[in-house]
Amino acid sequence: MNGFDQLPDSLILLIFNSISDIKTLICCRSVSKRFNSLVPQTESLSLKVDCVISPESDSGSLFTLLKSLLKSIHDLLKPDTKPTTRNQTQNSPARILKQFDRIRDLQIELPAGDLKLEKGAVIKWRAEFGKSLKSCVVLGFRRVANSEGYNAEVEIDFAGGLKTRVVWTISALIAASARHYLLNDVVKEHREMERLVLVDREGEGTVAMEREGLRECREESGVAARGVDWQEEGRRTVVPSVRMRMRHEQRVQLKDGVWVEGVTLVVVRPCNGGGDVEDAELALGAFGGGIFGEAVQVLLKNESYLLEMNSF
């Protein structure tokens, strides 16, 4: 008898929840029959995608991209599975997670962000979803420099800057809606789940769904077939009509002598509803501390202007 045989199941499950990494837990299943039976009961999981995307993938479909990224993980889970038809979602997150029965907290990490930015630009965004978009906060910089690299004489193209800010926001919304689409099957199949987050290793964007949002998504699971809230061909959730409250500062000096130029903060909410949380509270809670949190605090003191956009 080894030391683990003397531990109760509840303590081993606590250890598995602390590990959370799916690849590691899969390896644990081969340790013993007991581990094999306990791993599926793990409640807190993290799926990290390491694979390199094939250039043959459809660049217009983030759904196809993630399926390709997850191929090697699926092979690890089902090494003896025979090839099936092309249209089956055997490499989807839902398929990978089928052997876990009690998922309550799940984080999926992609290897890279979705946006193609101009050189020097930095964008971070965080979107909250239920059956559709609840809110999205976008923070962007045109350039970041220390005190030595800052040039006060550089002119800013305000007309071009506004166009860029709108493009940043729309691009972030498209990326967020595509990621949300990916999670639909996972949400439907794991009804005990209370929190679901999809991030990328570059820290660009986050899609989050909490308990109430997950419930909404499950209740609307049949709507996809009717084409009401889901855009099948585009492989993303339809973005509803939204209002975008935008704040901008030409140049901002942050702590430690860091300058950021063309700083933009956008809080996006659906025109109909959007919750009771104030825009400022959403923005402050989106990115934590550091230069991003500091930039948000500075911009919230500025005057804002409101734009509206139709559903797309």
Give the percent of the chain with pLDDT over 70: 74
Q: Is the pLDDT of residue 79 over 70?
A: no
CA distance 236 to 230: 7
pLDDT band at residue 12 under the 50/70/90 scheme: very high
Out of 143-147, 200-204, 242-246, 284-288, least confident range:
143-147
Quote the pLDDT of residue 51.
Answer: 54
Quote the pLDDT of residue 165.
Answer: 85
pLDDT band at residue 144 under the 50/70/90 scheme: confident
pLDDT band at residue 48 under the 50/70/90 scheme: confident
| E strand map for the chain | 44-48, 105-110, 122-129, 133-141, 143-145, 195-200, 205-209, 230-231, 236-237, 242-253, 259-270, 305-309
Q: Per residue in 99-130, pLDDT tens?
A: 899 999 999 998 877 777 677 788 999 999 99
Out of 5-9, 75-79, 201-205, least confident range:
75-79
Q: Is the pLDDT of residue 207 over 70?
A: yes
Q: Measure Cα distances from 6 to 2, 15, 38, 208 in Å.
A: 7, 14, 15, 39
CA distance 15 to 17: 5
Question: Which of 119, 231, 127, 142 lies closest to 175, judged by CA?
Answer: 127
Residues near 119 by beta carbon (within 8 Å), at least 6 away in sequence: none
pLDDT band at residue 73 under the 50/70/90 scheme: very low
Q: Is the pLDDT of residue 21 over 90?
A: yes
Higher pLDDT residue, 144 or 287?
A: 287
Quote the pLDDT of residue 259.
Answer: 83
Question: Which of 271, 280, 213, 203 lies closest to 243, judged by CA?
Answer: 271
Average of per-residue pLDDT values in the chain: 79
Quote the pLDDT of residue 39.
Answer: 95
Which H or E run includes 8? none
